[in-house]
Amino acid sequence: MGASNVRALEELRARRLRAPLLLALWLLLALEGAGGIVIFVARLATGETPGETLHVVGGLALTVVYAAYQWRHWLRVRPVRARLDYTLGLLASAFLLLTNLTGLALGAAWWRDRVMSHAAAARYAPPLSAVHNIGSMLVLTFVGAHLAAVLMRDRRLAR
């Protein structure tokens, strides 16, 4: 690959990594990840769920931003390819979908109990909450691995 092609690829990657939709997605993933950890630990340690409302609202925003991002991303990277970065991206997407769907179900329980019934705490189904918590950990793992694999692939192509 020529030097000008390498430079063009690097500029394109840098532009994509600064895209507002991707930055919004990263910000919401970070907010939701940190908020989820705080809620998880606080619930175990104290029985309280600080930041629960912010987590629910952030989860709704994440769902919308992720759907928009993933649609545009899929249009760019289709069809399915037999590569590590692609497989990790599919795993990240699958776990993000699972985590968002279980999060929406937990958000519905939160709405029912906290908003509509004015209860002190929402009643969550433990299996649903467990799938959501484990899924979120897998999302963070596979999103990071996907990004690292993409950057490593691009580094190999640039040589």
Give CA–CA dist 133/44, Å, rounded: 13
pLDDT at residue 5 in the model: 75
* pLDDT reported for residue 2: 67
Higher pLDDT, 138 or 151: 138
Peptide bond into 50 cis (omega under 30): no
| pLDDT, tens digit (0-9, with 9 covering 90-100), for 21-54 | 999 999 999 999 999 999 999 999 999 999 999 9
The domain ranges of the chain are 3-158
pTM of the predicted structure, to 2 decimals:
0.87
Q: What is the distance between the alpha carbons of residues 158 and 64, in angstroms, rounded to a whole number?
A: 34
pLDDT in tens, 83-142: 999 999 999 999 999 999 999 999 999 999 999 999 988 999 999 999 999 999 999 999
Is pLDDT larger for residue 44 or for residue 154? Answer: 44
Dihedral sign for Cα 139, 141, 142, 146, please: positive
| Cα-Cα end-to-end distance for the chain | 7
| 3-class DSSP assignment, residue 99 | helix
pLDDT at 17: 82
**Which amino acid, 62?**
L
